[in-house]
Amino acid sequence: MTIKLDGKARRQGVPLIDGIDKVTGRARYTADLEHADALVGRILRSPVSHGEIVRLDVSKALALEGVRAVITGDDCPHTYGVLPIAMNEYPLARGRVRYRGEPVAAVAATDLETAEKALGLIELEVRALPAYYTSEDARADGAVLLHENKPGNIEREVHHGFGDVDRGFSEADLVREATITCAEVNHAQIEPHACLADFDPLTGRLTVQSVSQVGYYLHLMLARCLEIDASRIRVVKPFVGGGFGARVEVLNFEIITALLARVAPGKVRMHLTREENFLTHRARPQTDMRLKLGMRRDGRITACELHVVQRGGAYAGYGIVTLLYAGALLQGLYDIPAIKYDGYRVYANLPPCGAMRGHGGVNTRHAFECLLDRMARELLLDPFAVRRANLLHAPTRTLNDLMVNSYGLAECLDKVEAASNWHNRIGKLPRGKGLGMACSHYVSGAAKPIHWTGEPHAVVNVRLDFDGGVTALTGAADIGQGSSTMVAIAVAETLGVSLDRVRVIAGDSAVTPKDNGAYSSRITFMVGNAAIDAARRLRTILCEAAAQKLEVPPEDVDCIGEAFHVGGGGQSSIAFCDVAKAALVNRGPITVTGTFTCPPEAQGGKHRGGAVGSTMGFSYAAQVVEVTVDEATGLVTVDKVWAALDCGHAINPLAVEGQIEGSVWMGMGQALSEETTYADGLPLHASLLEYRVPTAAESPPIEVHIVESNDPNGPFGAKEASEGALAGFPPALVNAVANAIGIDLNALPVTPDRVVEALVERRRGLRLAAARRAAS
Amino acid sequence: MHIESERSAKRLVRLKVNGRWREDAVGQNELLVDYLREVARLTGVKTGCDGGECGACTVLIDGEAVPSCMVLAVRCEGRAVETVEGLLSQGRPSRLQQAFHEKLGAQCGFCTPGMIMAAEALLRRNPNPTDGEIRTALSGNLCRCTGYVKIVESVKTAAEMPS
Amino acid sequence: MTALLPQFRLAHPRSVSDAIATSQENAGSRFIAGGTDLIVNARHGLGKSSLLIDLSGIRELAEIRASDHGIRIGSMVSIAALTRDAATSQNYRAVKEAAEAIAGPGHRLMGTVGGNLCLDTRCIYYNQSEWWRRANGFCLKHGGDTCHVAPQGRRCHAAFAGDLAPAFLALRAEVEIAGASGCRRIPVGDLYVEDGSAHLTLAPDELIVAVVLPPNPPPSSYAKVRVRGAIDFPLAGVAVALAAANGVIQSLNIGLTGTNSRPFLLAGTDAIAGRPVDEKVLQQLDRLVQKQVQPMRTTIASAHYRRLAAAALACRLVASLSAAKEA
Ligand SMILES: Cc1cc2nc3c(=O)[nH]c(=O)nc-3n(C[C@H](O)[C@H](O)[C@H](O)COP(=O)(O)OP(=O)(O)OC[C@H]3O[C@@H](n4cnc5c(N)ncnc54)[C@H](O)[C@@H]3O)c2cc1C
Ligand code: SF4
Ligand code: FES
Ligand code: FES
């Protein structure tokens, strides 16, 4: 079967190039890799929330037959972390534990039973310290500090101001405040964490295969924590069963597995349980927000003030970035003349939070779009009209100096408004039924990489050999989002060859060029551009070879449909393979390197933290959600969703649709049912029964509309498509519930008990009011 | 009545896996999912949870789709077990496999084998399911990538394909 | 390898008497039916047992038989088979609706009627891993001496959350129990006591043979509240069997699950008999349910919510059954 990128494939898209492996069960994920000869690794986790390790005796475990390695914090004196400026965590606790579930020791044994038995033989004594599970408690006067250098248990404060907020509020016809809170949620990717590490004592080389979204970070941290020269390490990414941000940061179990492999020495596999996945966490923090908006009678926003407190868990992780995103992403969606942002990231004795799909922006957007709707209602304005009154006009730069070169939000609004038949239905639905809408956006890759090396922001190598096969080599991790397919399409389109001539090899540090990884939706924009650049270079070489054979100047040659033609075709042409052979004469196999670098003007403002939020372009989304609310049981059912997203250009429309559906639906999970809860620091939700990922039964049909604003810098005009639509769902849902039953909910998720409590509260309020009226 | 001695924790079990009979010594406390993955090396069978909560391990036992992580392998004596690997016939993907591929019913692909097996059981007993019937039949299989939209579409497409 | 199950052996009796004899000879043995509760708990280190007595080889337990004396459902009939049974579906709607609302499709194929009735009680401090429970100092129900839900109390409040029991209760079903001293038959309600750590009245060597539904049942219906549309156990589940003539209630039976350590039949419904289903009766019913359910903080959802939801479901089912009757 030849896959031609003809008109139909462009319109509808193509299946993933590794799809067949997935549907046949052939695809090997980390836990599926051959491990018959591997030892089994297990981790001993702290049973207490906060305390000093008084005694840790592993001698009995070491003495157990079948145990090949036991390690503790003594085996690794190096911190690790995703941000070079905030690495305050050890793979295995040293001296102090700060959350229940923190790794304290680990064993490698010949089988699982022995490994478990060995864990039971480790003696751990901890002197308990006071522990804090809410931001408020952690910040209270006199609270014991989780980290000595962080007074008030505040990891970071951010205070940003742009424009004249006071003037903005004084010019407003309506000023309103809302206090909104979002529960902590988790990625809950279906593939549990796993790692396979192989240390060869004879050569001193280490090979690690893991579920990572960023093999490069893992590589760096392995070298740091194991003190092995990076050149002796190989990191390979097998098939990965979803990431959603969970696997951007290097995770403790990955380093622990490698440490065990070195001590054993040999091959160690580590498969975490679902409970351990929740303990590893690194997801969206519980967030308290106080938002104030000023609005003119016509819906124009005059000023915005946001106060955010994120409960970040026990270690820094990604925290500073999450906090900065929460402020920065107030901008870039609407035209707001004045913005003040105060953010606080707080340490608490809970598993550390991190990045999760829509990193930092989701909860902020939720609060914003909810309050916007409430104010619109008060001013008797239509929710669509209010959004339209505040549109940006590209090209422009935001107050915090973010670049906006393409902006399809207006079209997104038109699309969902029409598709949902909004104007004929809003206000005319029976009680209990409601419509709500909201907008959202997200970056197409952080324009400034975390590790500043001076290298290009993305590199793709493309090879051509005697067989006529084109091989694209990329370090970008395909974690199910279809990035390898995107690379293949970009190369095939640029070269003018069929898709199945192109092979993509991704995520193996021994052969693929380094990549900054699968996060902040950077791959399509950056790696896509690098792939096009590489393919162009190859095309130039091939065109020259073809031109020589055809005896015409190279500028006159083009490759379309696997053949090189002169001019617009018609005249003489040579098959791709013949040109490839000609190009290899004298030169041998060809490897070209394509790169992409975000220009300095894309890298954000000069203020402290100004790089966060900076991007080459934003995706834009609008969505309408229709709900039915059962006032007796509090159950909210989503009947239908209409979502439109501006992804610049859909390189693979099928994949773009899939990403929009998936992100809208993930927003639904956060909105309706998902939340992590703790009892004195022990997770009550550490299973897929209590952590309620929606099932197919209650998940709605999602109608997707793709909007193409053609970004001037995007690959073929493309921007991101995987995250932008998520943040719009929760507020659209809460707005729809308000439309259905007239109650504004201030807490996520909107579980049946919360809805019923709100209804009870309202009835109580009405009764009180009636009693007061009667009395007066 | 016959009960194995305390010491022989393992027992010979004969069962049909993807159309072929096989006999293995299996621990009495061994789960079918582990037998399939570790002994039969059918790693298309996935595990996504700590027991019965996600459906990633769904296989067919005598034609019915059940999570293999709640089944003791020794209880499959004499029974026919099918996994996603068994759906290929003469090297060709089945209708469901083809449809999940073409319609993007699989993104990361981790829930896919279980999802396809649950759908396979559905189509065998109900060749023309409605959207609602598909959603009910798949409601024990969690997917974190697709929002189920393209999964439902894939099953519908498979049902419409000539077999 | 996925999980470490405790070491145990399996026995495969071919008859009920064989099963009981095996159980008597082996203290600490347990029956295993579908295993969807037992295996999951075993993976958490709960309900350890050295011998599992597999009931799946006993053919007589897997039959549904309809006769003039009603319907006799063998304890090993799968939940899925129950939902497909025509006679049950037609006349005992509450049973069918309850069965359809259990867990997910795979659980329904494996899970059985007997296992559903004998389901262990549930609590957020109990249905956790060994590591978790140890870190929490265990609890009264298993390995510890305090209850984290009601630390002052002396009993366990873990909630019974099987869906079928309330339907059987409302329809006045009985269970047939076989033991060493022969067979006995008791109302479903007598199978349970209000104690989360010992909610079943069965002796260790007794097993449920069948559930018998009496003939000519009144119209009935079942509803449960749960966050998701599948998989989730009931936060509250209500079955109503309502006989009415000319809009007047003749008999009303309401079974409840998910709120207490046992499923139970609502007391005091006879006081409502003889009256039409109107606002007043529904208000009275609402109060009755709220008074008798005793949800405790054993789920993530609040106890208060489960109380309100149970009452709301009861009222809704009574209203809809009486409306359907008139239509
Ligand atoms: C994710 C998940 C979700 C679930 N959701 C629900 C739900 O929504 N509603 C619900 O009701 N259940 C639910 N369940 C529980 C379970 O699947 C069902 O209740 C099922 O019917 C149990 O039956 P079983 O045959 O599998 O029981 P088993 O696990 O085999 O047995 C359960 C208990 O009953 C005893 N037992 C079994 N049969 C007999 C007998 N004949 N005589 C005496 N004792 C016996 C066993 O010894 C054991 O103690 C869920 C389970 C899981 C894992
Ligand atoms: S109710 Fe109390 S005793 Fe019972 S399981 Fe829960 S915590 Fe334990
Ligand atoms: S592995 Fe999750 S249900 Fe079997
Ligand atoms: S495709 Fe990733 S979990 Fe379903």
Which run of H or of E encompasses A19? helix A19-24
Phi (first) and psi of residue A499, to 5 degrees: -60, -35
Are C78 and C22 found together in one domain? no
Please indicate if any CB of chain C lies within 8 Å of the CB of A36. no
**What percentage of chain A has pLDDT greater than the value 70?**
98
**What percentage of chain A has pLDDT greater than the value 90?**
93
**Which of residues A576, A597, A618 is at a domain's end?**
A597
Are B17 and B31 found together in one domain? yes
Are B107 and B119 found together in one domain? yes
**Burial of A437 (C-beta count, 10 Å sphere; 0-12/13-18/19+):** buried
Cα–Cα dist A696/A454, whole Å: 46
**A71: domain range?**
33-129+191-241+247-280
Chain C residues closer than 8 Å to B28 by CB: 8-10
Neighbours of chain C (3+ CB pairs under 8 A): A, B
Chain C residues closer than 8 Å to B125 by CB: none
pLDDT mean over A535-562: 93
pLDDT for the residue numbered A12: 86
**Which of residues A597, A620, A654 is at a domain's end?**
A597
> Is the shortest distance between the CB of B39 and ligand 4 below 6 Å?
no
Length of chain B counted residue by residue = 163
CATH at residue C27: 3.30.43.10
**Which of residues A572, A597, A622 is at a domain's end?**
A597
Are B91 and B71 found together in one domain? no
Q: Do B147 and A666 touch (CB under 8 A)?
A: yes
B75, B135, B136, best to mutate vs chain C, most C CBs in 10 Å: B75
Cα–Cα dist A74/A91, whole Å: 10
| Ligand 3 center to B111 CA (angstroms) | 10
Do C261 and C198 form a contact (C-beta atoms < 8 A)?
Answer: no
Chain C residues closer than 8 Å to B66 by CB: 106, 109-110
Q: Do C109 and B64 touch (CB under 8 A)?
A: yes
pLDDT for the residue numbered C31: 98
pTM, 2 dp: 0.97
Domain membership of residue C84 (yes or no) is: yes
**Burial of A570 (C-beta count, 10 Å sphere; 0-12/13-18/19+):** exposed
B66, B77, B123, best to mutate vs chain C, most C CBs in 10 Å: B66
Least CA distance to B36: which residue of chain A?
A32
Q: Do B135 and A699 touch (CB under 8 A)?
A: yes
Cα–Cα dist C103/C124, whole Å: 18
Domain membership of residue C280 (yes or no) is: yes
Q: Do C129 and A48 touch (CB under 8 A)?
A: no
Domain membership of residue A673 (yes or no) is: yes
Give helix B149-160 / helix B95-102 axis angle, nearest 10°.
140
**What stretches in chain B show pLDDT beneath 70?**
1-8
Are C22 and C109 found together in one domain? no
Least CA distance to C230: which residue of chain B?
B139
How far is C114 from chain B, CA to nearest CA, in Å?
A: 17
The alpha carbon torsion through A352, A356, A359, A363 (nearest 10 deg) reads -80
For residue C106, give the nearest of B33, B51, B58 by CB distance.
B58
Do C222 and C101 form a contact (C-beta atoms < 8 A)?
Answer: yes
Contacts of A371 (CB under 8 A, 6+ apart): A176, A177, A178, A180, A291, A293
pLDDT for the residue numbered C48: 85
CATH at residue C253: 3.30.390.50
Best mutation site among B36, B43, B54 for ligand 3 pocket (most ligand atoms within 8 Å of CB): B54
Domain membership of residue C225 (yes or no) is: yes
pLDDT for the residue numbered A2: 45
Do A728 and A333 form a contact (C-beta atoms < 8 A)?
Answer: no
Domain membership of residue B155 (yes or no) is: yes
> What confidence tens digit (pLDDT) does each residue in A34-52 have?
999 999 999 999 999 999 9
Task: Identify any residues that bridge with A560 across adjacent strands, giving them in sequence order.
Answer: A563
pLDDT for the residue numbered C272: 92
Cα–Cα dist A29/A24, whole Å: 13
> Angle CA(A529)–CA(A532)–CA(A537) in degrees, nearest 5?
130
How far is A23 from chain B, CA to nearest CA, in Å?
A: 5
Domain membership of residue A586 (yes or no) is: yes
Do A394 and A406 form a contact (C-beta atoms < 8 A)?
Answer: yes
pLDDT for the residue numbered B5: 44
| Ligand 2 center to C233 CA (angstroms) | 17
Cα–Cα dist A369/A60, whole Å: 58
Please indicate if any CB of chain B lies within 8 Å of the CB of C27. no
Are C182 and C222 found together in one domain? yes
Encoded amino acid at C29, one letter? S
What's the number of domains chain A is made of? 3
Task: Identify any residues that bridge with B66 across adjacent strands, giving them in sequence order.
Answer: B59
C-alpha closest to that of A270 among A58, A31, A589, A73: A31
Atom of ligand 2 nearest to the CA of C157: 1
Cα–Cα dist C319/C201, whole Å: 34
Domain membership of residue A140 (yes or no) is: no
How far is A362 from chain C, CA to nearest CA, in Å?
A: 22
For residue B29, give the nearest of C8, C56, C106 by CB distance.
C8
Are A234 and A88 found together in one domain? yes
Are C69 and C16 found together in one domain? no
Q: Do A661 and B150 touch (CB under 8 A)?
A: yes
pLDDT for the residue numbered B9: 79
Within 13 Å and on the Cβ side, how many CA atoms surround C55?
30
For residue C43, give the nearest of B51, B67, B75 by CB distance.
B51
Domain membership of residue A123 (yes or no) is: yes
pLDDT for the residue numbered A399: 94
> Is the shortest distance between the CB of B137 and ligand 4 below 6 Å?
no
> What confidence tens digit (pLDDT) does each residue in A706-739 have?
999 999 999 999 999 999 999 999 999 999 999 9
Are C270 and C296 found together in one domain? yes
Are B49 and B118 found together in one domain? no
Are A209 and A90 found together in one domain? yes
**What stretches in chain C show pLDDT beneath 50?**
326-327
Cα–Cα dist C232/C226, whole Å: 6
Q: Do C309 and A690 touch (CB under 8 A)?
A: no
Encoded amino acid at C182, one letter? G
Are C292 and C190 found together in one domain? yes
Instruction: Give the residue carrying structure tokens 């950056």.
Output: A526
pLDDT at A570 over 70: no
pLDDT at A659 over 70: yes
CATH at residue B25: 3.10.20.30
Length of chain A counted residue by residue = 776
For residue B50, give the nearest of C43, C56, C103 by CB distance.
C43
Rg, Å, chain C Cα set: 20
Q: Which ligand minimizes its atom distance to the CA of C48?
A: 1
Are B65 and B96 found together in one domain? no
**C223: domain range?**
62-118+159-326
**B63: domain range?**
9-86
pLDDT at A31 over 50: yes
> Angle CA(A85)–CA(A618)–CA(A299) in degrees, nearest 5?
110
How far is B55 from chain C, CA to nearest CA, in Å?
A: 8
What's the number of domains chain B is made of? 2
Are C182 and C47 found together in one domain? no
Are C172 and C45 found together in one domain? no
Cα–Cα dist C6/A39, whole Å: 21
What's the number of domains chain C is made of? 2
Task: Identify any residues that bridge with B65 across adjacent strands, giving them in sequence order.
Answer: B60
pLDDT for the residue numbered C325: 52
For residue A697, give the nearest of B84, B135, B150 by CB distance.
B135
How far is B121 from chain A, CA to nearest CA, in Å?
A: 16
**Burial of A632 (C-beta count, 10 Å sphere; 0-12/13-18/19+):** middle
CATH at residue A484: 3.30.365.10
> According to DSSP H, which parts of chain C are helical?
16-25, 38-43, 79-84, 86-91, 93-100, 105-110, 113-117, 130-135, 164-170, 279-292, 303-326
Ligand 3 pocket by Cβ (under 6 Å): B 47-49, 52-57, 67, 69
Best mutation site among C124, C134, C141, C294 for ligand 2 pocket (most ligand atoms within 8 Å of CB): C141
Are C96 and C44 found together in one domain? no
C-alpha closest to that of C168 among C97, C106, C269: C97
pLDDT mean over A244-270: 97
A676, A689, A693, A750, best to mutate vs chain C, most C CBs in 10 Å: A689
C-alpha closest to that of A623 among A552, A700, A550: A700
- DSSP one-letter code for B76: G
Are C238 and C98 found together in one domain? yes
For residue C230, give the nearest of A634, A695, A751 by CB distance.
A695
Are B14 and B81 found together in one domain? yes
Task: Identify any residues that bridge with A347 across adjacent strands, giving them in sequence order.
Answer: A313
User: Can you list the positions of beta strands (E) in A398-495?
Assistant: 403-404, 433-443, 458-464, 470-474
How far is B40 from chain C, CA to nearest CA, in Å?
A: 13
C-alpha closest to that of A310 among A182, A455, A466, A479: A182
- The ipTM of this complex is 0.97
SS3 content of chain B, % helix, strand, coil (to 5): 35, 20, 45
Mean pLDDT estimate for chain A: 96
- DSSP one-letter code for C190: G
**Burial of B134 (C-beta count, 10 Å sphere; 0-12/13-18/19+):** buried
| Ligand 2 center to C158 CA (angstroms) | 5
Are C15 and C98 found together in one domain? no
Q: Which ligand minimizes its atom distance to the CA of B151?
A: 4
pLDDT mean over A468-478: 96
Are C50 and C66 found together in one domain? no
Encoded amino acid at A719, one letter? K
pLDDT at A139 over 60: yes
Residues of chain C with a CB closer than 8 angstroms to some CB in chain A:
1-4, 104, 124-125, 127-129, 131-132, 134-136, 148, 225, 227-233, 235, 300-302, 304-305, 308-309, 312-313, 315-316
> What confidence tens digit (pLDDT) does each residue in A369-416 have?
999 999 999 999 999 999 999 999 999 999 999 999 999 999 999 999
Q: Is A23 helix (H, G, I), strand (E, B) or coil?
A: helix
For residue B110, give the nearest of A241, A655, A695 by CB distance.
A241
pLDDT for the residue numbered A581: 95
Which residue CA neighbors atom 3 of ligand 4 most closely?
B143
pLDDT at A1 over 50: no
